[in-house]
Structure 1
Amino acid sequence: MASEEQQQQQQPKSATYEAGCHCGYIKFTFTLSPGLDEYQVMRYPDAKDVVWHNNSRERCVNYQFNTKTRDHMSCPKCGASLGIDFREVFKPHRFGFSARTIYGIELDKLIYKEGDGLTRLKPAGDLSGHYWDEEKQEMK
Structure 2
Amino acid sequence: MADPKASATLTTKPTTYEGNCHCGLIRYTVTLPDALAPEGTEKILRCNCSICTKNGYFLVYPKREDVHFLNASDTRMKSYLSATKRKPHRFCPKCGSSVLIDFKDAPEDEQRPLLAMNASLFKDIDLANAEFEPFDGKAELDPPYEL
Indicate whether the TM-score tops 0.5.
yes
1:69 corresponds in structure 2 to 86
Separation in structure 1 between the aligned mates of residue 90 and residue 145 of structure 2, nearest angstrom:
23
Instruction: Report the TM-score, using the length of structure 1 for normalisation.
Output: 0.76
Aligned residues of 2:84 and 2:142 also touching (Cα < 8 A): no
2:24 corresponds in structure 1 to 24
Unaligned 5+ runs, structure 2: 46-59
Larger radius of gyration: 1
Aligned pairs, number: 123
Aligned residues of 1:82 and 1:97 also touching (Cα < 8 A): yes
Deviations 1:53-82 (A, max 9, x none): 111111101001232101111100111111
Separation in structure 1 between the aligned mates of residue 11 and residue 88 of structure 2, nearest angstrom:
32
1:135 corresponds in structure 2 to none
- Give the Å deviation of 1:14: 1.5
Instruction: Report the TM-score, using the length of structure 2 for normalisation.
Output: 0.73
Task: Indicate which of 104, 119, 124 corresponds to 1:99.
Answer: 119
1:41 corresponds in structure 2 to 44
> Greater relative contact order (Cα 8 A, min sep 6): structure 1 or 2?
2
Aligned residues of 1:15 and 1:33 also touching (Cα < 8 A): yes
Question: In proportion to residue count, which structure has more helix?
Answer: 2
Separation in structure 1 between the aligned mates of residue 142 and residue 127 of structure 2, nearest angstrom:
28
Aligned residues of 1:20 and 1:101 also touching (Cα < 8 A): yes
Give the aligned residue type for 1:94.
L
Within 5 Å, which residues of 2 pair with 1:1-140?
Answer: 6=6, 9=9, 12-37=12-37, 38=40, 39-42=42-45, 43-89=60-106, 90=108, 91=110, 92-123=112-143
CA RMSD of aligned residues (A): 2.4
Separation in structure 2 between the aligned mates of residue 18 and residue 126 of structure 1, nearest angstrom:
32
Aligned residues of 1:66 and 1:127 also touching (Cα < 8 A): no
Change (3 A) 1:25 1:126: closer
Deviations 1:35-54 (A, max 9, x none): 21222112300101110111
Unaligned 5+ runs, structure 1: 129-140
Identify the range of structure 1 (112-121 vs 51-60) with the bigger mean alpha-carbon deviation.
112-121
